[in-house]
Structure 1
Amino acid sequence: MKKFLLSLCLMFSVLPALAAETAKAPDALVREVSDDVLAIVRQDKAIQSGDTRRVITLVEEKVLPHFNFRRMTMLAVGKDWRQASPEQQGKLVDAFRTLLVRTYSNALTQYRDQSIGYKPAKFGDADASVRVQTEVRQAGAQPINIDYALEKTTDGWKVYDVVVAGVSLVTNYRGTFAQEIRTGGVDGLIKSLEQKNRDLAAPAHS
């Protein structure tokens, strides 16, 4: 699980400018920005010393604008999304977004010497939904495959799912979310997510 979270952190790190140039293929954008961003992470002493607030700020400023958290939340909640009111849907998106940011910001402080390799592109210029395939490499360990699902929008390419070692991020949450809804309804899921976020935020205030 630690490797899973750290790999997803790298996903957050290498995609800060996907929407900057919509004319370029998404794999080219990932390749171009990854070296610069990883260099920043390696050199940031605050991140290396475990400053979670610093990581959260970095993620919020450079990464979040390029993710479609509404679609990610819809996919994670699944068929139960339709029974949620617009207000509940908004709370679910906010809570899920915060959960991902806090979870992976905490783990990103463990980043050290990983590198990223890129696999040949398997999509056409006209495709509106694509998958960018990469792998995280670290000395003494097997590479971890990470695929990014992106869609072309009027605001540029947006990430709506990440598949780590064959496991979809949104699908990974779907079973847990469905159980929470069966137990306490949509409001129960919202309360559960908000509690997880409070728990994750606690170390930052210690």
Structure 2
Amino acid sequence: MVLRRVCGLVAAVLTLGALVTARPAWAGPPTEQLRAQMDRVIKVLEDPELKRDGRQAERRAAIRRLANDIFDFPESSRRSLGPHWNARTPAEREQFVKLYADLLERSYIDKIEMYSGERIQFVGETIERNHATVRTRLVTKAGTETPVDYRMHRVGDRWLTYDVNIEGVSMVANYRAQFNKIIQASGYASLVSKLTEKQEQGIEADRDGSIRKASQTK
């Protein structure tokens, strides 16, 4: 339940580019890049052409591309798998990154259109060499505030997010605990099987959704 809430809040936060507060004077490259990424997500969500019937797959593909610009999936995968990462072959690592990215992207896309009316406040930024934390608050219409920290690192000239910490709960730590529990109980192959099953269920759900949408327009 905690992980589902984290994914939902991450989606909410990343859809609110149009509702962020004014640019703070202290804002540095990590904050500015995160803000720009949010703005791009909003443009896709508000694109009237992509809201048309029959264009859901295209819209989701656009959101996936943006998610790849926001998150460093290989780094997040490595941290989420923890000590089990070192035991994986290059092929296994590549497979895991793809499954992990698909898991996050589907959670992101499924939740992204469920939120409205919240505001983002950028409240601070710390940079230590190639790592940064951008601190924000998610403020609901009722005035409830939720602290959200983005853990980022520099890759070339870009700052990419590898973890999101919401109310002290780390997305990476949550996944690491779940993945470790499965591996300890039934092995790494079992984890891959479960992630593959989730991926197949997601693909099937997307296909069913497209079919229903098409039938409604006839």
TM range (shorter): 0.7 to 0.9
**Contiguous gaps of at least 5 residues in structure 2:** 18-27, 209-218
2:6 is paired with a residue whose SS is helix
User: Which residue of the partner structure matches residue 78 of structure 1?
Assistant: 82
Deviation at residue 58 of structure 1 after TM alignment: 2.4
Give the corresponding residue for 1:90: 94
Q: C-alpha distance in 1, partners of 2:46/2:143? A: 19
1:48 to 1:5, Cα distance in 2 relative to 1, 3 A = farther
Give the alignment partner of residue 126 of structure 2, picking from 122, 137, 141. 122
Q: Cα offset for 1:141?
A: 5.3
* Alpha-carbon shift at residue 157 of structure 1 (Å): 1.2
Q: 1:6 aligns with which of 5, 8, 21?
A: 8
Which of 143, 166, 169 is the matching residue for 2:168?
Answer: 166
Query: Superposed, which structure 2 residues align to 1:108-187 within 5 Å?
Result: 108-123=112-127, 127-140=129-142, 142-187=144-189
The match for 1:19 is: none
1:111 aligned counterpart, secondary structure:
coil
Measure, in 2, the Cα distance between the counterparts of 1:109 and 1:45. 16
Query: In structure 2, what residue type is equivalent to 1:130?
Result: A
How many residues align structurally?
Answer: 195
Is 1:65 the counterpart of 2:69 in the alignment?
yes
1:184–1:3 CA distance, 2 compared to 1 (3 A)? closer
SS, match of residue 140 in structure 1: coil
Gaps of 5+ in 1: 16-23
Once the 2 structures are TM-superposed, how far is the Cα of residue 45 of structure 1 from its aligned partner?
8.0
Superposition RMSD on alpha carbons, in Å?
A: 2.7
Structure 2 residue identity aligned to 1:197: Q
Identity among equivalent pairs (%): 20
Give the distance between the partners of 2:88 and 2:187, measured in 1 at CA.
9
Q: Retained in 2: the 8 A contact 1:114–1:137?
A: yes
Residue deviations 1:94-142, cap 9 Å, x none? 1000010111111112132222111032336xx3100001122221252
